[in-house]
Structure 1
Amino acid sequence: MSSTIRSNDFTQYVKILGRGKKGARSLTVDEAEHAMGLMLSGQVAPEQSGAFWMLIRIREETVDETVGFTKATRRYLSQKKPLSIKVDLDWPAYAGKRNELPWFLLAAVALANIGTKIVMHGHTFEGENRLYVEEVIEQLGLQVCQSREQLSQMLETRCFAYMPLGKVDETLASMMDLKYVLGLRSPVNTVVRMMNPFFAAHSVHGVFHRGYDELHLSACEQLGDASVLVFRGGNGEAEVNPERDVTLGKWQQGMASWSNWPKAEQEHKRLKDNVDLSRLTDHWRGDQLDPFGQQAVRQTIASVAGLLYGVTSHEECLVLADSIWLKRDKAYFDSQI
């Protein structure tokens, strides 16, 4: 009886979303928050959650829905054991790269080398033609954190830590894995970028589809977030593609701002399909300058440093980035293996 009651609590939301062209509507913030709370607490049947996410996926999530989902997720995550160390920067990495390496990983480690405590989290989909950052981290000999204790330790000693979504929370990982059954990604992909699971002071979001940068920033405003950078990055990761103009959206000090940075490379230098990890390590050590990676890393560091240090000028951000890059520990990856 109780499971039926709980199930009916959620049925109302499927009905709201699926009543047809004239009857259906989007959810309010409160409705979205309640619906997400029911799913996170295990009170929703798999068939219900699948229908729910796909109905939203057809038209794409609204700002109010994103706010509601994120509020519920953050409240849920706040009940977990807190880290023993304060996180400076939250870096979700869920998209995976096609035909190129995750140069943003070098940008993150360079920032960590100057003391910025960064938590990167992501999820891997098996069988997709994508290179996920977790695979690269493992192959480079970096630790994939399996617990919050490991995460705190890595932040204390290395300032950079990576944790798979499944170790952040199994329920959220199961929601992501609905893709295997449904064949499509769901709005959960937006939630995991927005959630900031360890309540860092700053966040950087990479998005792929047009308009999602605006959705993220509008949601950040309603959520009262302190400091967020969002932009359409390489394959949807938080990595500036140097061969394209980029528009950076920033929510900071209660204000939204947008900056347009021209592409750093006028010619195509991307080495398509060359995903040899030695390109990353050789470039990091300074053994070989990668024509594409150099600007991908530089521009990405610049964008994030602008957020961390409150700098708006592209030129000043690049000066910051060059300074940060020069201070990197060239033996960092050697010491991990």
Structure 2
Amino acid sequence: MSSQNTQTIKEQPMAKSSNDFTTYVKILGRGKKGARSLTVEEAEHAMSLMLSGFVEPEQAGAFWMLIRIREETVEETVGFTKATRQHLLKTAMFAEKVDLDWPAYAGKRNELPWFLLAALALANTGVRIVMHGHTFDGEDRIYVEQTIEQLGLTVCTSREQASQVLSERQFAYLPLSIIDRRLGTMMDFKYILGLRSPVNTVVRMMNPFFADHSVHGVFHRGYDELHVAASEQLGDASVLVFRGGNGEAEVNPERDVTLGKWQNGETSWTTWPKAEQQHKRLKDQRDVSRLTEHWSGQSCDPFGEQAVRQTIASVAGLLYGVTSHQACLELADSIWSKRDTKYFQ
């Protein structure tokens, strides 16, 4: 058989699957009267085709932008997440159990990523945390991956390395492209299309290492409700969602924060009042030495102190089933006091 014929045969499944995918583009793009959102099953199949490499980039771009125009529904989010989790099951799992999944994809525009200190303080007490994120070059934002590098911590380049680092330090960070190359490519559609896509929701929802708990930071109003509703339909065990600083899972102490939880088969919403009455953000001082000096106790950062404290409190409440704001703060203070102040030395 000639190599040309062999190539043609190999391309047939791709062509068929690609044609199958056009069905979903048509459903989304038939105009005001003809278009509709996808069912859970349709969204799951569409996502599985994309993750399997059976979709042309132009098709995927059109698909995501059609949904982006009206924003994803709960059913679509559930379908996309189910397909993503099923896809990730094909990859070797961690040897180490993960307690807390912490997606970090938004980047910080006005301040440092203080939530990283909150995560490390929790890890210092034995909570096994995997953080994952993605960096968009050329944006005026600080991404957690860049901060981790500047602090001399490890950016893991494989699942095996992440498993080892997690075992040694109870905290590991992986870039999205290491978790799955195609998901990384989907996120990078932003460079071509100029807009972020619903993939940003998927990577927050996916919990790639099937941790017992997950914390999601969102930016836009209503997305906290979407995440909680999707978590319920997915049957997740324990999820915390709130509108955090720049969209990261970090409590902004200068604003009230509403915490949404799906845990023990119940949804709950709790609003905490802002911890800082005065403006203390330092927009033009994004030197990571502020993080290390605050961690070591060399100085007390006026903004970072409450950002870290409130963030630890919110996540600790999820991990340990504490509901009272005051009790969560007391737990946060205990966790912070136990940190290894020489961690960065």
TM-score, normalized by the shorter chain, greater than 0.5: yes
3-state secondary structure, aligned to 1:251: strand
Partner of 2:44: 33
> What CA RMSD, in Å, does the superposition of the two structures yield over aligned residues?
0.6
Partner of 2:227: 216
Partner of 2:84: 73
3-state secondary structure, aligned to 1:22: helix
1:54-97 CA deviation, whole Å, 9 max, x = no partner? Answer: 00000000000000000000000011001001000000000000
Q: In the aligned structure 2, how far is the partner of 1:266 from the partner of 1:244?
A: 9
Partner of 1:246: 257
Matched-pair contact (CA < 8 Å) for 1:99–1:274: no
- Letter paired with 1:147: S
Q: In the aligned structure 2, how far is the partner of 1:126 from the partner of 1:194?
A: 23
1:308-335 CA deviation, whole Å, 9 max, x = no partner? Answer: 000000000000000000000000011x
Deviation at 1:8, TM superposition (A): 1.1
- Structure 1, unaligned stretches of length 5 or more? none
Map of 1:308-319 to 2, 5 A cutoff?
308-319=319-330
Partner of 1:266: 277
Q: 1:183 aligns with which of 189, 194, 209?
A: 194
1:133-173 CA deviation, whole Å, 9 max, x = no partner? Answer: 00000010000011111111111110000000011110100
Q: Normalising to structure 2: TM-score of the pair? A: 0.96
Matched-pair contact (CA < 8 Å) for 1:196–1:203: yes
Partner of 1:307: 318
Partner of 1:114: 125
Map of 1:125-140 to 2, 5 A cutoff?
125-140=136-151
3-state secondary structure, aligned to 2:119: helix
Deviation at 1:6, TM superposition (A): 1.4
- Structure 2, unaligned stretches of length 5 or more? 1-11
Runs (4+) of structure 1 moved beyond 3 Å? none
Q: In the aligned structure 2, how far is the partner of 1:183 from the partner of 1:274?
A: 28
Deviation at 1:99, TM superposition (A): 2.1
Deviation at 1:4, TM superposition (A): 2.6
Partner of 1:295: 306
Say if 2:108 is the partner of 1:97: yes
Percent of aligned pairs sharing the same letter? 78
Say if 2:235 is the partner of 1:237: no
Q: 2:29 aligns with which of 15, 18, 21?
A: 18
Q: In the aligned structure 2, how far is the partner of 1:322 from the partner of 1:168?
A: 33
Deviation at 1:2, TM superposition (A): 3.4
Matched-pair contact (CA < 8 Å) for 1:99–1:272: yes
CA radius of gyration, larger in: 2
Q: Normalising to structure 1: TM-score of the pair? A: 0.99
Q: In the aligned structure 1, how far is the partner of 2:284 from the partner of 2:242?
A: 24
Q: In the aligned structure 2, how far is the partner of 1:3 from the partner of 1:42?
A: 8
Q: 2:163 aligns with which of 149, 152, 157?
A: 152
Q: In the aligned structure 2, how far is the partner of 1:282 from the partner of 1:223?
A: 41
- Letter paired with 2:138: G
Matched-pair contact (CA < 8 Å) for 2:110–2:281: no
Q: In the aligned structure 1, how far is the partner of 2:288 from the partner of 2:62?
A: 40
Matched-pair contact (CA < 8 Å) for 2:135–2:145: yes
Deviation at 1:272, TM superposition (A): 1.4
Deviation at 1:3, TM superposition (A): 3.0
Deviation at 1:7, TM superposition (A): 1.3
Q: In the aligned structure 2, how far is the partner of 1:201 from the partner of 1:164?
A: 20
The total of aligned residue pairs comes to 334
Partner of 1:280: 291
Q: In the aligned structure 1, how far is the partner of 2:284 from the partner of 2:318?
A: 31
